[in-house]
Chain A
Amino acid sequence: MNKLNAIPLLPALAGVVIAAIALAGPFGNTGVDGTLGAGLALVGSVFVALVIMLVAMRPLARGWFSALMTLAMIAALLTAVAGYFLMQTLLLAAMVITLLALAFVLSRQRRSLS
């Protein structure tokens, strides 16, 4: 596993857990439990985590790497927007951190290749 590439995985996995709690509401009403919106946020956060895992676990060609990282950033951004409109502040925070971490990794990678 590429440790640098795995940095965004932690907040992304936190996002998955937070989104799952928002959807299922195991600790009480979240205001969005059982809703389509919370379901989409969970799908988004899972997608982000899977992409980051893929990037971290397998060496990829530069083009693939950039494409997947960009895809993960778009998904994280959309999930953050969903978190905002679902009033799930923790999910929003997790996705913003993921987004920043992805941007950091991408910039480091580009710098090392240049």
Chain B
Amino acid sequence: MTARILPAALAVLTASAAHAQQDSWTSFHGDLASTKFSNAGTITPQTVADLERAWEYHTGDVSDGAGELPETVWSATPIYANGTLYLGTPFYRIVALDPATGAERWTYDSESRLEALTQPALKNRGVAYWQSGQEGVCEKRVFLGTMDAELHAVDADTGQRCADFAEGGVLNVNQWNEVNDVFPFSLLQPPLVVGDVLLLGWAGKDWEYAVAPPGNLLAIDARTGELLWDTGFIPPEMIPQTGTANIWTAMTADAELGLVYAPVSSPSPNYWGGDRTEPLPHATSVTALDIASGEIVWTFQHVRHDIWDYDTPSAPTLVDITRDGQTIPALVQATKQGFLFVLDRRTGEPLFPIEERPVPQSTAEGEVTAPTQPFATIPAPVGGALELPEVWPLADIVSFGQCSRDREKYLYQGMFTPPSEQGTLFFPGTAGATNWGGVAVDPRSGILYSNASRIVQLIQLIPRAEYDALNPAGGGNEEGYSPQQGSPYGIYLTDWSNWAGIPCWKPPFGTFSAIDLASGELLYEVPFGKAQFHGFYGPSDWGSPTLGGPVVTASGVVFIGASMDARVRALDAATGEELWSDLVEAPAVSIPAVFTHEGEDYVVFAVGGNSILKPEVSDQAVAYRLKR
């Protein structure tokens, strides 16, 4: 770890926290606490039916992969700051729009290489915003990362590069990628801005290689681009054998405590750990670091010896919980397993019982599985993640019993059943019960809202010689073949479906839940969205798998896209009942921005699509407000 923090930076931390405004939407999750809570109050369950499209805008940055460019995946949360709406695009451009009209104010092109260097698609999850509090050129900045490891800083008013940041406004983050550098640090998630510090993780491809760049968190001076500190998550002695345990998703910070909470992903390779059997305590964890020094303060590892790609997928959400008359500063970490771990954010101590339960053991060559895994008992996991869904009679009848035969044929002994040569049913699958959208919390009531997917996958370990003979044309991280080069196994991963492509497991395929964080009680869990097969929509009680997350407002409305049926919806926060919806051009796999501009409340979705849900992409940004 290197540490060169400027003392002045910390002074700003506390100040910026005091100025946090939930009428704005200045970061990926709206605020540093990642509550995804908006004070917007005019859109209520009674008025939401009067929502209309204020405007829509097409960035032009879209590809379905059929031409020369890779497919695009656009999961950006629009940022509302400085009286402007900022979008990052999957062609690594920034678009600044008038929030009221959608009129373009300026655009900036990073001129990044449009190549799928580390991902199967060109991906972007938006931009970050920083302001110094002073007036002048580049005293307000927008930051954009690229897949080829550049961080661009531009003036928020003009879109011109900030010359005093790194080299003429462009920071080559790959200069710190010095170990096992089999791929570049892809900056798909915008940095978290805390005071004058940019906290930056990166994405890679841990399904491709056994040995990969070791995961780390970089702290960078927002004004100069200087590296303040660099904290790694893989013990130095393990670096020759493994890698990743990186941070590819959003982070959260508590400026008063001076801590950043990092959702650390699984180590490489994803599905075999025979070369990394020694403890990796920070891998697949939520880890708190001191923002001033980069020192690790505490770690909560929620998967031991991860061989399921159960990356910590989203920023934890900060909430204060009152218990026995005392207010406890807590955080909630949503996971791919569906568990919601509620921890004291000062210490990492659990606030609800967590049981260490014995789990099935692997028979794969060289593998040494962890004997136990942590199970959060309260709150109950979202999406019913503990129980493998039953075989779906409809899919079974259509396939003349294929699904039932598969159920007998493949291994499943509960959550954390290890990948196997025989084939393992994998639930929740690698896209997780929850993913980058995370959860929303109303800080006034302490009620948490979460969408969850229920996708069963089939994973097979393929011995190296057999895999090499197959010579598959590659895959991705969520489906297809992956080589795990340097390990004895390649893998094949797919959704568990019959010959007609119908899921073999019983619906619902996705749910929406509300949980009281004070008691851990599940208030409701209802099917959410509509599944779609070959264009046909399933009944409402089948639900839909989801990617993207919810926002809850002070007026008791939840806004969410996320479903595969390409609808954006408003739900009644009290019941989960759908109040309003609108058809958009593709699944809105992002988190909406909800903010108040010139006295009117707006809800803006970036509509990008994601092939995990269905092969449909778009470049549409669409804004809603109440009829005037």
Across the two chains, which residue of chain A brings its CB closest to B539?
A85
Residue A59 at the chain B interface, CB threshold 8 Å:
no
A35, B583: Cβ atoms closer than 8 Å: no
Interface string of A1-45 (1 = CB under 8 A from B): 000000000000000000000000000111110011110000000
In the assembled complex, the Cα of A109 lies from the Cα of B585 at a distance in Å of 47
Across the two chains, which residue of chain B brings its CB closest to A37?
B535
Question: Which residues of B lie under 8 Å from residue A37 when comparing CB positions?
Answer: 533-536
A85, B583: Cβ atoms closer than 8 Å: no
A38, B535: Cβ atoms closer than 8 Å: yes
Interface string of A69-104 (1 = CB under 8 A from B): 000000000000010011100000000000000000
In the assembled complex, the Cα of A28 lies from the Cα of B534 at a distance in Å of 18
A86, B585: Cβ atoms closer than 8 Å: no
A85, B537: Cβ atoms closer than 8 Å: yes
In the assembled complex, the Cα of A27 lies from the Cα of B611 at a distance in Å of 24
Most buried by B among A28, A35, A36: A35
Task: Using A29-B584, A31-B583 as known contacts, say yes or no to A87 and B566 having CB atoms under 8 A apart.
Answer: no
Which of A28, A29, A82 sits near B536, CB closer than 8 Å?
A: A82
**A28 CB, nearest partner CB in chain B, Å:** 8
In the assembled complex, the Cα of A30 lies from the Cα of B535 at a distance in Å of 10
**A35 CB, nearest partner CB in chain B, Å:** 3
A35, B535: Cβ atoms closer than 8 Å: yes
Question: Which residues of A lie under 8 Å from residue B537 when comparing CB positions?
Answer: 85-87
Which of B533, B534, B535, B566 sits near A29, CB closer than 8 Å?
A: B566
Question: Which residues of B lie under 8 Å from residue A36 when comparing CB positions?
Answer: 534-535
Q: Chain B interface residue count: which class?
A: 10 to 19
Residue B565 at the chain A interface, CB threshold 8 Å:
yes
Question: Which residues of A lie under 8 Å from residue B585 when comparing CB positions?
Answer: 28-29
B535, A86: Cβ atoms closer than 8 Å: yes
B566, A35: Cβ atoms closer than 8 Å: no
**B379 CB, nearest partner CB in chain A, Å:** 34
Question: For chain A, what secondary structure do more than half of its interface residues adopt (helix, strand, loop), or is it mixed?
Answer: loop
In the assembled complex, the Cα of A32 lies from the Cα of B536 at a distance in Å of 8
A31, B566: Cβ atoms closer than 8 Å: yes
Question: Which residues of B lie under 8 Å from residue A85 when comparing CB positions?
Answer: 536-537
In the assembled complex, the Cα of A48 lies from the Cα of B467 at a distance in Å of 51
In the assembled complex, the Cα of A36 lies from the Cα of B583 at a distance in Å of 19
Question: Which residues of A lie under 8 Å from residue B536 when comparing CB positions?
Answer: 37, 82, 85-86
In the assembled complex, the Cα of A36 lies from the Cα of B614 at a distance in Å of 13
Question: Which residues of A lie under 8 Å from residue B566 when comparing CB positions?
Answer: 29, 31
Of residues 569 through 599 on chain B, the ones whose CB sits less than 8 Å from some CB of chain A are 583-585
**A9 CB, nearest partner CB in chain B, Å:** 26
In the assembled complex, the Cα of A29 lies from the Cα of B584 at a distance in Å of 7
Question: Which residues of B lie under 8 Å from residue A35 when comparing CB positions?
Answer: 534-535
A31, B565: Cβ atoms closer than 8 Å: yes
Across the two chains, which residue of chain A brings its CB closest to B567?
A31
Question: Which residues of B lie under 8 Å from residue A38 when comparing CB positions?
Answer: 535
Question: Which residues of A lie under 8 Å from residue B534 when comparing CB positions?
Answer: 35-37
Question: Which residues of A lie under 8 Å from residue B565 when comparing CB positions?
Answer: 31
In the assembled complex, the Cα of A38 lies from the Cα of B537 at a distance in Å of 11
Across the two chains, which residue of chain A brings its CB closest to B618?
A29
In the assembled complex, the Cα of A16 lies from the Cα of B66 at a distance in Å of 29
Across the two chains, which residue of chain B brings its CB closest to A31?
B583
Across the two chains, which residue of chain A brings its CB closest to B583?
A31
In the assembled complex, the Cα of A85 lies from the Cα of B537 at a distance in Å of 5
In the assembled complex, the Cα of A55 lies from the Cα of B284 at a distance in Å of 68
**A13 CB, nearest partner CB in chain B, Å:** 22
Known: A30-B583, A31-B583; 9 extra A-B contacts, CB below 8 A, are: A29-B585, A31-B566, A35-B534, A36-B534, A37-B533, A37-B535, A38-B535, A86-B535, A86-B537
- B interface list, Cβ under 8 A from A: 533-537, 565-566, 583-585
- A interface list, Cβ under 8 A from B: 28-32, 35-38, 82, 85-87
**23 sampled A-B residue pairs with Cβ under 8 A:** A28-B585, A29-B566, A29-B583, A29-B584, A29-B585, A30-B583, A31-B565, A31-B566, A32-B535, A35-B534, A36-B534, A36-B535, A37-B533, A37-B534, A37-B535, A37-B536, A38-B535, A82-B536, A85-B536, A85-B537, A86-B536, A86-B537, A87-B537
Closest 9 CB pairs of A and B: A35-B535, A37-B535, A36-B534, A32-B535, A85-B536, A37-B536, A29-B585, A37-B534, A38-B535
